[in-house]
Amino acid sequence: MTDTLLETSSASNSETAIPARREVVTAIPGPKSQALHERRTKVVPPGVHSTLPVYIERASGAILRDVDGNSFIDLGAGIGVTTVGHSRETVVNAAKAQLDSFLHTLFTITPYESYVRVAELLAEHTPGDHEKHTVLVNSGAEAVENGVKIARKYTGRRGVAVLEHAYHGRTNLTMAMNYKAAPYATGFGPLAGDVFHAPSSYPYRDGLSGAAAAARTIGYLEKHVGATDLAALVVEPIQGEGGFQTPAEGYLPALQEWATKNGVVLIADEIQSGMGRTGRYFASEHFGLVPDLLLSAKGIAAGLPLPRSPAVPRSWTPPSPVDSAGPSAATPSPPRRRSPCSSSSSRTASSRRASASDGP
């Protein structure tokens, strides 16, 4: 089988590669970018903010070339999306091959092999050696929403616990799950209910050991929510938007142990920390964490929409087939213990307030 997903060439497309150097040849933004910006202000709402309004014409590897001929090192990387670089030859070839074959059938009507292959690869590379199942959806936030839906259906409980400094997306439920109200949720209420923000492990500031921080998180949840009312505990194994926070050693395993003991589904949001971003496929691996559900997106498809969420809790009997999935979702089936989920790395360009457009 030709498996474009596994080719290992490190090359950018040699025909379209841009010299790997920073080169500034005009004022920033240059005249063509300024003209485009003028056009944009007439048709794109100000809530869709751009950090650096230079308009990109081409990109390769880690270099962006703008319409005025300036080259920049892309430190933005689509916020953790272009992990293997821009226009990597294997990615471009796989996309072209897919365009030549077909664009859409809807897997839940007429399935196709590549969905199965992605699920196989995720089963292979996500933490744990149990049987795993993957659901593909459309974005990171949608993966989070589906993770919560799966956990609620499975447990029959409503509560969702998240951690301080967390970021999970910009949909209604995920806005409620974020730590920061501004810029993500301010003015956009009412937000989804049954979401509880617990203290996390922030060793740089709190100086607590993993065990002490876990005791604080667990104590908070038991007191303010009650374990029996909790469907899920959602953690970013290494927090992204929260300031690239690595928890103290032992913190996540202690939460995992508590969650398992209390029938709470532990969901690892690896949308930003996964796909090699921390030196392993998934950040969970650094802590020996085997989550019940793992959410992946961003770097998984190098900028193309390919969301997924594998995972599924121990002795899980799935809800009815598509209950937990969107239009492109699959049917999760009963795994032995846990599996992952993920979601696409495409960014949603929904209309946002100017102040709401910073961050991921």
Ligand X SMILES: Cc1ncc(COP(=O)(O)O)c(C=O)c1O
User: Can residue 271 be called a binding residue for ligand X (CB under 6 A)?
Assistant: yes
Is the Cβ of residue 167 or residue 282 nearer to ligand X in the bound state?
167
Strand extents, DSSP E, 185-307: 195-198, 230-235, 265-269, 293-295
Residues of this chain, 8-67, that bind ligand X according to CB under 6 A? none
Residues of this chain, 131-160, that bind ligand X according to CB under 6 A? 139-141, 144
Is the Cβ of residue 70 or residue 343 nearer to ligand X in the bound state?
343
User: Can residue 241 be called a binding residue for ligand X (CB under 6 A)?
Assistant: yes
User: Can residue 297 be called a binding residue for ligand X (CB under 6 A)?
Assistant: yes
Shortest reach from residue 315's CB to ligand X, in Å? 27
DSSP state of 342: E
User: Can residue 347 be called a binding residue for ligand X (CB under 6 A)?
Assistant: yes
Distance CA 121, CA 7 (A): 13
Q: Which residue is nearest to ligand X (CB)?
A: 140
Distance CA 132, CA 195 (A): 27
| Polymer length in residues for the chain | 360
Shortest reach from residue 352's CB to ligand X, in Å? 12
Strand, helix or coil for residue 197 = strand
Is the Cβ of residue 19 or residue 76 nearer to ligand X in the bound state?
76
Instruction: Out of 169, 210, 274, 291, point to the residue binding ligand X (CB under 6 A).
Output: 169
Shortest reach from residue 212's CB to ligand X, in Å? 25
User: Can residue 326 be called a binding residue for ligand X (CB under 6 A)?
Assistant: no
User: Can residue 218 be called a binding residue for ligand X (CB under 6 A)?
Assistant: no
Question: With contact defined as beta carbons under 8 Å apart, do 330 and 312 qualify?
Answer: no
Site size with ligand X, rule: CB under 6 A: 17
User: Can residue 269 be called a binding residue for ligand X (CB under 6 A)?
Assistant: yes
Token duo for residue 87: 């226009």
State the SS3 of 255-274.
HHHHHHHCCCEEEEECCCCC
Q: Which stretch binds ligand X (CB under 6 A): 102-110, 164-172, 324-332, 349-357?
A: 164-172
Q: What are phi and psi of 159, to 5 degrees?
A: -70, 140
Strand 195-198 versus strand 159-163 pairing type: parallel
Nearest Cα neighbor of 338 from 274, 300, 285, 290 is 290
Q: Which stretch binds ligand X (CB under 6 A): 15-23, 151-159, 209-217, 265-273?
A: 265-273
Strand extents, DSSP E, the chain: 56-60, 63-66, 71-73, 134-135, 159-163, 195-198, 230-235, 265-269, 293-295, 308-310, 341-342
How far is CA 67 from each of CA 20, 33, 34, 72, 249, rounded to the nearest angstrom? 17, 6, 10, 12, 47
User: Can residue 291 be called a binding residue for ligand X (CB under 6 A)?
Assistant: no
Token duo for residue 256: 């995992």
Shortest reach from residue 17's CB to ligand X, in Å? 28
Shortest reach from residue 324's CB to ligand X, in Å? 17
Instruction: Out of 159, 210, 299, 360, point to the residue binding ligand X (CB under 6 A).
Output: 360
Distance CA 332, CA 105 (A): 19
Binding mask 77-106 for ligand X (x = CB under 6 A): --x---------------------------
Question: With contact defined as beta carbons under 8 Å apart, do 147 and 341 qualify?
Answer: yes
Is the Cβ of residue 10 or residue 186 nearer to ligand X in the bound state?
186
Is the Cβ of residue 60 or residue 174 nearer to ligand X in the bound state?
174
Is the Cβ of residue 36 or residue 341 nearer to ligand X in the bound state?
341
Q: Which residues bind ligand X (CB under 6 A)?
A: 79, 139-141, 144, 167-169, 236, 240-241, 269, 271-272, 297, 347, 360
